[in-house]
Amino acid sequence: MPATEPSLPLWLEVVAMATNGLYGAAAARSRNVPVAGTFLAGIMVGLGGGMARDVLLGTEAVAISNPYLIPSVLLSSLIGALFFYRVVAMALPNLIIHGIAFGFLISIGCQRALSLGAPPLSAIFCAILTASVGGMALDALTKHRASAFSQAHWVITTLAIGSTVYYGLTTQLNFYIATGVTVMITALLYTLSITRNWPSPRWPGESMTTDD
């Protein structure tokens, strides 16, 4: 594998962050968050993971330096709050949209790290971080238990599998194929793990009662 991978396409970063901004704002409104808080949720879910990733990589935050990202996330947040909040309030559509959003964030997190020469495990960790930070911030602000720590969900497992698949495909093929496959796998695993009630692995002797 070469020392660095191709740079992340601008359109993919915009699509990924806008998709997550849409989901974040829609989820916030479905939890009865006021207008200003809804937009803040969209910004945090859309941009938070990428900013955390860039801090770890010691590079300029794309969300701040790129003139398209904040306007795109604000617009998608408005669309999410106006038209999608009823959709994400329903269990199955919420899971599918959330899984798709996870897949896009994995893609931009991993590809950004690889383009800067990060080693494999670091790139995978950046992908997981990018996909999880915004959602955890949303859950914390709306007083919900963070889904990453929910025993009945495969959130971290799904992100780890999706990130590993993305890394393998993007280094052997290209990020377009890697992104498409990762989005599908992540959405499928996330949805199935919850609808089929697949429990997260537990430490030996730990109580099996759920704490969701």
Distance CA 135, CA 105 (A): 11
Q: Which of 3-7, 91-95, 176-180 has the lowest mean pLDDT?
A: 3-7
What pLDDT is attached to residue 13? 84
What's the Rg (C-alpha) of the chain? 16
Cβ neighbours of residue 144 closer than 8 Å, sequence gap 6 or more: 31, 138
Task: Quickly state the pLDDT bin for 146 (edges 50, 70, 90).
Answer: low
What pLDDT is attached to residue 209? 52
What pLDDT is attached to residue 157? 84
Report CA 64 to chain centroid distance, whole Å: 18
What pLDDT is attached to residue 3? 46
Count of CB atoms situated within 10 Å of the CB of 42: 33
pLDDT in tens, 172-197: 988 889 999 999 999 999 898 888 87
Could you tell me what percent of the chain has a pLDDT over 70?
Answer: 87
The mean pLDDT of 60-80, rounded to a whole number, is 90
Cβ neighbours of residue 3 closer than 8 Å, sequence gap 6 or more: 117
Residue 6 has pLDDT above 70, yes or no: no
**Nearest 5 degrees, angle CA 182-CA 146-CA 166?**
15
Task: Quickly state the pLDDT bin for 106 (edges 50, 70, 90).
Answer: very high
More confident of the two residues 148 and 183:
183
Q: What's the whole-number average pLDDT of the chain?
A: 84
Residue 25: closest CA among 69, 71, 67, 88: 88
Residue 147 has pLDDT above 80, yes or no: no
